[in-house]
Chain A
Amino acid sequence: MTKRKTTVVEGSPESFSPKKRTWYQTFWRYRILTLMCVPAILFFFFFSYMPMPGIWVAFVDYKYRKGIFGSPFVGLRNFEFLQQSGKLFSLTRNTVLYNLAFILLGNLLAIIVAILLNEIQSRWFKKVSQTLMFLPYFISQVLVGILVFNLLNYDTGFVNEVIRHFGGEPWQPYADPHVWPVLMVIIYLWQQTGYNSVVYFASICGIDAEIIEAAKVDGANAFQKIRYVILPMLKPTIVILLLFALGGIVRGNFGLFYNVIGQNPLLYETTDIIETYVYRSTVSDFNFSSASAVGLYQSVVGFIIVLCANGIIKKIEPDYSLF
């Protein structure tokens, strides 16, 4: 934050004037810009900062009639159940590894797709392929779960019907935990790539056409254009999106895992993430406090990871860090 401010002040001619402006004068000077920020400020104030005191629910024995702040304080008891389960490590590991795969492969594929789309000359083909890739994003996770089950189940699944037709040995993925990391990543990519590529596609479109023309004049072929112009220009977008994504690295994709894996304990070894575990073990007693405790744990870990990642980026490329 400080870094930006100083650049702005240095850049403006007034910064050399001897009289230092008061807070109010600064505010009045930038009133239009501030006004344009108001919706965002209000949004975050109401939906992110106002509910924050409610975190207290993670430390109390919540009783409806006493309210969050009237309920008795119980310290860290609500955090105990996750630790007692002895699964904290394996759940966190699964969650983080899946998210890493989703973030890295997801962004990589999105960049590739965006560049390829950009290179397509036929307008018609570009639109059709973009729409087709975008479509899965709008399919509800519940339907995705049903689709996958109907493709892969042993008795009547499409894949096994084909295998049987050709005289092969049917495949039983719903009894084999080791195939799911690959399957989950494929399902995720199928669903999200079209959507993710839009941001990259937009930033490619935003690249100054003169630069690309200049590269062409200099004799750059298509690959050189991508390698030396488009990718470097995309770098800030990539870094920012990665940083944002890292903040949620301990937050699992509940909808996807819950609907595709369901409640099949044969597969939990490789597919159980924090969210699905917490859902299963707290849904029976409706414990707000335990669920909030887990949420707080995830937020704190996510916050630390963002700070670390930002710190590292600041060391390497100070211009790209978030703050």
Chain B
Amino acid sequence: MNKKLIAAFLAAVTAASMLTGCGGGEALADPAAAPTTDEAATEATGDDSAPAAADIDTSEHVVINYMTTGDPPEGEAKKNLDAMLEKLNGILTDKVNAELQIYYIPWTDYLSNYNLTLAQMDGSVDLIGTASDWLDAWPNAKDGAFLELSEEMLQTYAPKTWESVPKEHWDLCKYNGEIYLMPEDNYAQWTNHGYIYREDWAKAAGLDKVDSWEDLTAYFQYVTEHQSDLGLNLAWDSDGTQYGQMASGWVSSHSDFISIDGLAANALWGGTKADPYTIVVPQYDDQEMMVAYAKEMAKWDDMGIWSTDVLNKTTSANRDDYRIGKVAVEQHHTQTWTDLCSHTDNNTIYTDPNAESGFFWFGEENGNVVRLNITHGAMAVSAASANPERALMVYDLIRNDKECYDLFNYGIQGVSWDVNDEGLRIQPEGYNPDTQNINGMTNYWWGRNDDLEIKDASRNWDAIDPMYEELDAAAIDYPYGQFVPDVDEIQSYIDNINEVYTNDMKLISYGKYDDKGMTAEEAVQKLHDDLKAAGIETVTAALQEQFDALYK
């Protein structure tokens, strides 16, 4: 009898503990929970018939969660961030009775986690940093993760932002006639890719400067021959993920191709400067150009520019190695070059007075460069946000209010930054770049504002200004800002195309096709055949149809 009782008791306890265990998980797992919160949110916003600014009810104190990509700061850095946030939240509470918290999406697998967080739709985030080219702004807008921002809402709750963004720019933020994004359209930056290299070594190699792929080969020839004299680990400690940038860089330099952003990671489709609205895929159409590319890259591979098993590398510390002179190039964009060419504490290569960093940008040979799409950085409001109005009010302040802007972007004046006599931003005494770089913690890339920016004194403006001028003179505006492709019907083709392109292009870009017993011609032919089999012509035709409907 006793045994029976104990058994019954044990079973009951286990069952009870399981039930409580389930209670916690259920809310997350239950798919029905998402639509309910969401309906509540839309209803709340739908009821507003644009009250005048003075009528806005801010009696309830709310917390606005701002979601950004980036690793959350720890220890001392976190303390400094919190000190800034406390000050900022004091102001935000005074002005709109709200406070801001930062919700980080760490860099590891950031795109998956970013999308997953948005898909939860549980109201855990309000303001969402997004981008149409490197974060899935449009797919998420389509899937219903972002709130439609009506003109009345923007006029009422984010009036300064509404006024500062011209109508043409708002038009570029629309999908199906609704505004989803608030663009970072007043901030000069260049994110066109290229190779950052050492000008002093290029001179030693007999080159005045590197301004073509052929020059790069000559430069690599020199640095690999003098690798140990120069103290290099490798000419370029590339990881296996750079194949796409390299290939599209080659295409930019050898054609007048302009790619369409946001279709797929490899940006295969686009038009040409001469005929922008006829869709082409140079990697598929122009085999001759790709064979030349394949041969050049095989040369690089033979020189031993990257590690032999580069395809199995997913991470490398190449940029940091560049700062300390352990590698000879870094492949990234102009904005990164402005950092690497500047004589900051991190860049120890400049302890050598001869050291200089140049930038060869893709397309430099024929002046093929496109200005940044204004939705390269933008802010959206979550459709599940409980307080979308207040989220807009907070955004309006951190984007347009001088005091909030400085705090959020630079930190506390006198601690994290200061202004010198020339009005440039400097680092105050005792500044520690590891713990006081507020800019690197708030990761605010979704509404920076040149009206409020203070130029950084540590940047090498003597080199940067001419580069900006050079790019500005060559660049054209991004021509497809209004094109939001509808890919539902062709997504499965795009997935498969992406997959075969990635596989074949990795072998071509790293000159590894000979390991498979192929010649350059055969490797390019295989790419062509695989893309064809994966349905690239179907996708091109479908996109052309959408292009025609929009532009003709």
Contacts and interface: CB of A to CB of B under 8 A. Distances in A.
Contacts of A149: 309, 312
Interface stretch (A210-218, A247-255, A274-282, A297-305): A274-282
A265 interface: yes
Contacts of B494: 285
Contacts of B351: none
Contact of B507 (A43, A46, A77, A265): A265
B499 A263 contact: no
A264 B139 contact: no
A240 to B, nearest CB: 24
A84 B312 contact: no
Interface string A134-178: 000000000000000100011100000000000000001011000
A153 B306 CA distance: 13
Contacts of A77: 492
A49 to B, nearest CB: 12
A88 B297 CA distance: 32
B2 interface: no
Contacts of A80: 492
Contact of A64 (B111, B144, B311): B144
A85 interface: yes
Given A84-B496, A286-B136, A287-B491, A153 B309 contact: yes
Interface string B483-504: 0000010011111101100111
Contacts of A265: 311, 502-504, 506-507
A278 B308 CA distance: 27
A153 B498 CA distance: 27
B292 to A, nearest CB: 22
Contacts of B143: 62-65
B261 to A, nearest CB: 14
B503 A268 contact: yes
B167 interface: no
Main secondary structure of the interface of A (DSSP, over half): helix
A26 interface: no
Interface string B304-339: 000111011010000000000000000000000000
B311 A32 contact: no
A232 interface: no
B188 interface: no
A155 B312 CA distance: 12
A78 to B, nearest CB: 8
Contacts of B241: 263
B516 A266 contact: yes
A95 B32 CA distance: 35
Nearest to A37: B11
A280 B38 CA distance: 31
A38 B8 CA distance: 11
B491 A285 contact: yes
Given A84-B535, A153-B309, A39 B492 contact: no
Select the residue from B25, B142, B502 with max chain A CB neighbours within 10 A. Answer: B502
B507 to A, nearest CB: 6
Contacts of A231: none
Contacts of A54: 31
A181 interface: no
Interface string A19-58: 0000000000000100110110011001000110010000
A308 interface: no
Contacts of B493: 81, 84
Nearest to B15: A38
B105 to A, nearest CB: 13
Interface stretch (A66-74, A108-116, A189-197, A220-228): A66-74
A291 to B, nearest CB: 11
A283 interface: yes
Contact of A174 (B121, B309, B383, B492): B309
Contact of A39 (B18, B112, B506): B18
B488 to A, nearest CB: 6
A61 B487 CA distance: 12
Given A39-B11, A68-B31, A282 B144 contact: no
A288 interface: yes
A35 B499 contact: no
B314 A284 contact: no
A210 to B, nearest CB: 26
Nearest to A176: B515
A107 B459 CA distance: 63
Contacts of A42: 15, 18-19, 22
A50 B32 CA distance: 12
Nearest to A261: B312
B29 interface: yes
A290 interface: yes
A262 interface: yes
Contact of A286 (B139, B265, B309): B139
Given A35-B12, A64-B121, A84-B496, A286 B504 contact: no
Contacts of B31: 54, 67-69
B344 to A, nearest CB: 31
Contacts of A66: 35, 144
A86 interface: yes
Given A153-B312, A266-B311, A281 B496 contact: yes
A136 B493 CA distance: 41
Contacts of B507: 265-266
B520 interface: no
Interface in B218-247: 240-241
A311 to B, nearest CB: 34
A284 B498 contact: yes
A32 B8 contact: yes
B49 interface: no
B501 to A, nearest CB: 10
B7 interface: yes
Nearest to B142: A63
B488 A262 contact: no
A287 B142 CA distance: 13
A36 B502 contact: no
Interface in B8-66: 8, 11-12, 14-15, 18-19, 22, 25-26, 29, 31-32, 34-35, 38
Interface string A77-119: 1001100111000000000000000000000000000000000
A46 B312 contact: no
A38 B144 contact: no
Nearest to A170: B308
B552 interface: no
Given A32-B4, A67-B31, A288-B119, A263 B491 contact: no
A154 B308 contact: yes
Contacts of B4: 32
A108 B116 CA distance: 41
A84 B7 CA distance: 55
A86 B22 CA distance: 41
B534 interface: yes
B217 interface: no
B212 interface: no
A182 B401 CA distance: 63
16 contacts: A38-B11, A42-B22, A63-B143, A64-B34, A65-B35, A66-B144, A67-B35, A81-B493, A84-B492, A84-B496, A153-B307, A264-B506, A277-B499, A281-B498, A286-B112, A286-B136
> What are the 5 A-B residue pairs with the smallest beta carbon separation, nearest first?
A65-B144, A81-B492, A265-B503, A154-B308, A264-B311
Given A35-B7, A64-B143, A65-B145, 20 more contacts: A39-B18, A50-B29, A64-B118, A64-B383, A80-B492, A81-B491, A84-B492, A84-B535, A85-B496, A149-B309, A174-B311, A174-B312, A175-B515, A264-B311, A266-B507, A281-B496, A282-B495, A284-B111, A284-B265, A286-B136
